[in-house]
């Protein structure tokens, strides 16, 4: 009898320990580097995701061609690499706007469509590209890069994208009603502070939106649209019209916290919303991912990060781009409420480890399709892959 009681006690302890381990720790299944945190402290995060290994990568370099308006000759515009996609759920179909490069390195934005969110058919010509227009000096010869797309309450789509002239990256914006024809407006910061931020390096505009019925609808907070942006730290900006944006600077007399002062040197007046962290996977830079999601708990931002082992995560390789999540206060979008302590996605597949830039999973497109979340990401700046909602 005593032995039976002792045996029962041991079994109970083991089961309890196993249960607590699953509840309180991040798990990492070998062969699938997507963390699966679902304990009560992480119930605000959109996790886990499962990479679709049976299909990935879902988009690779292609043979599409068009007559380039600047070069005046036929160009294989997506022959070298495709990566960093934006996603639009429209009329029951999934549209992917993605960055593509020709062999010279010029980037243009292509369009592909899917009826199942997994298999895509692409258009032969790009839909946004450098042209003989007033924006050529900003976009040529580096091109148009890394789109992120939201829509307003009237159904007009707004795309933030990077214009690269070969020296400086600048965030621009364009609008469309059909995803095929886009009207360019130029720098998102052209009218703010006499244009001082329009001439500086800027990228990665993630506009705060409501995700509803598959749509990503830009949503005002306290009477303003909000955007997270930046690719060293993440800053914020506000807008009345989704076209003209004003970066949030610190108030007179305000200084960044001591631990952030070294990070503030490159943009000394801007208020840092999301800083890098020493000793972690996001030690070297942080960069906005898909459009930020307004939820009951706050504003959820999925973000990308880069690691340097000498002052970051020593278990990750030099330059590893991994993805994580942070929750901001929806009444004060510059205030962090919660932040994941680690990544939920990192590169591990051959197409994620080796390419134009090695060791990269760069998330940029998110949608809900047929009651499941789909997360689209660039792999090694060379191909495009997808991960699917792994929650039960």
DSSP assignment string, 281-308: TTSSEEEE-SPPEE-SS-EEEEEEEE--
Predicted pLDDT at 264: 81
- DSSP state for residue 246 in the 8-state scheme: E
- Has residue 1 been placed in a domain? no
- Has residue 371 been placed in a domain? yes
- Has residue 174 been placed in a domain? yes
What are the tens digits of pLDDT across the range 244-292?
999 999 988 888 877 788 788 778 899 999 999 999 999 999 999 999 9
Provide the H-helix boundaries in 181-268. Answer: none
- Has residue 24 been placed in a domain? no
End-to-end CA distance of the chain: 41
What are the tens digits of pLDDT across the range 43-53?
999 999 999 99
Backbone angles phi, psi at 186, to 5 degrees: 90, -160
- Has residue 128 been placed in a domain? yes
Burial of 354 (0-12, 13-18, 19+ CB in 10 A): middle
Burial of 99 (0-12, 13-18, 19+ CB in 10 A): buried
What are the tens digits of pLDDT across the range 323-374?
999 999 999 999 999 999 999 999 999 999 999 999 999 999 999 999 999 9
Q: Are 303 and 229 in contact (CB under 8 A)?
A: no
Q: What is the pTM of this model?
A: 0.89
- Could you tell me which of 284, 305, 304, 302 has the C-alpha nearest to residue 293? 302
Predicted pLDDT at 40: 53
Q: Are 149 and 158 in contact (CB under 8 A)?
A: yes
What are the tens digits of pLDDT across the range 279-326?
999 999 999 999 999 999 999 999 999 999 999 999 999 999 999 999
How many residues appear in the chain?
392
Pairwise CA distance, residues 113 & 71, whole Å: 28
| Predicted confidence band of residue 149 (pLDDT cuts 50, 70, 90) | very high
Helices (H) and strands (E) in the chain, counts: 3, 25
Predicted pLDDT at 184: 98
Q: Got the DSSP string for 361-380?
A: EEEEEEEEETTEEEEEEEET
57: left (phi over 0), alpha (psi -120 to 50) or beta: beta
Q: Report which secondary-structure segment, H or E, holds 119.
A: none
- Has residue 18 been placed in a domain? no
- Could you tell me which of 86, 83, 124 has the C-alpha nearest to residue 107? 83
CATH of the domain at 129: 2.115.10.20
Predicted pLDDT at 14: 36
What are the tens digits of pLDDT across the range 153-203?
999 999 999 999 999 999 999 999 999 999 999 999 999 999 999 999 999
- As a whole number of Å, the CA-based R_g of the chain is 22
Host domain of residue 44: 31-389
Q: Tokens 């839909």 — which residue?
A: 127
Domains: count for the chain: 1
Q: Tokens 């992917």 — which residue?
A: 96
- Has residue 120 been placed in a domain? yes
- Has residue 12 been placed in a domain? no
Asked if the bond preceding 141 is cis, omega within 30° of 0, the reply is yes
């Amino acid at each position: 009898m005593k032995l039976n009681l002792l045996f029962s006690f041991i079994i109970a302890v083991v089961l309890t320990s196993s249960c607590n381990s699953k509840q309180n720790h991040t798990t990492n299944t070998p062969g699938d580097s997507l963390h699966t945190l679902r304990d009560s402290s992480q119930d605000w995060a959109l996790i886990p995701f499962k990479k679709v290994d049976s299909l990935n990568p879902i988009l690779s370099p292609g043979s599409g061609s068009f007559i380039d308006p600047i070069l005046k000759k036929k160009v294989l515009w997506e022959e070298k690499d495709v990566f960093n996609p934006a996603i639009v759920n429209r009329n029951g179909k999934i549209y992917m706007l993605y960055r593509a490069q020709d062999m010279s390195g010029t980037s243009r934005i292509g369009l592909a469509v899917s009826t199942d969110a997994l298999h895509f058919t692409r258009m032969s010509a790009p839909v946004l590209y450098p042209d003989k227009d007033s924006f050529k000096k900003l976009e040529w010869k580096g091109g148009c890069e890394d789109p992120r797309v939201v829509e307003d309450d009237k159904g007009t789509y707004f795309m933030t994208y990077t214009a690269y002239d070969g020296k400086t990256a600048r965030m621009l914006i364009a609008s469309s009603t059909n995803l095929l024809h886009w009207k360019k407006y130029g720098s998102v910061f052209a009218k703010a502070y006499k244009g001082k931020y329009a001439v500086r390096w800027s990228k990665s505009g993630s506009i705060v939106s409501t995700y509803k019925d598959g749509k990503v609808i830009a949503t005002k907070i306290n009477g303003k649209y909000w955007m997270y942006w930046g690719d060293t730290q993440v800053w914020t900006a506000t807008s009345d019209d989704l076209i003209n944006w004003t970066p949030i600077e610190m108030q007179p007399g305000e200084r960044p916290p001591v631990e952030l002062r070294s990070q503030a040197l490159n943009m000394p007046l801007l208020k840092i919303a999301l800083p890098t962290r020493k000793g972690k996977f996001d030690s070297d830079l942080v960069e906005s991912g898909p459009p930020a999601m307004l939820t009951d708990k706050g504003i959820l931002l999925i973000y990308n990060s880069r690691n340097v082992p000498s002052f970051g995560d020593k278990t990750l390789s030099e330059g590893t781009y991994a993805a994580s999540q942070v929750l901001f206060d929806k009444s004060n979008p510059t205030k962090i409420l919660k932040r994941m302590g680690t990544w939920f996605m990192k590169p591990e597949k051959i197409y994620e480890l080796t390419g134009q830039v090695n060791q990269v999973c760069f998330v940029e497109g998110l949608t809900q399709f047929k009651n499941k979340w789909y997360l689209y990401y660039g792999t090694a700046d060379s191909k495009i892959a997808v991960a699917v909602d792994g929650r039960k």
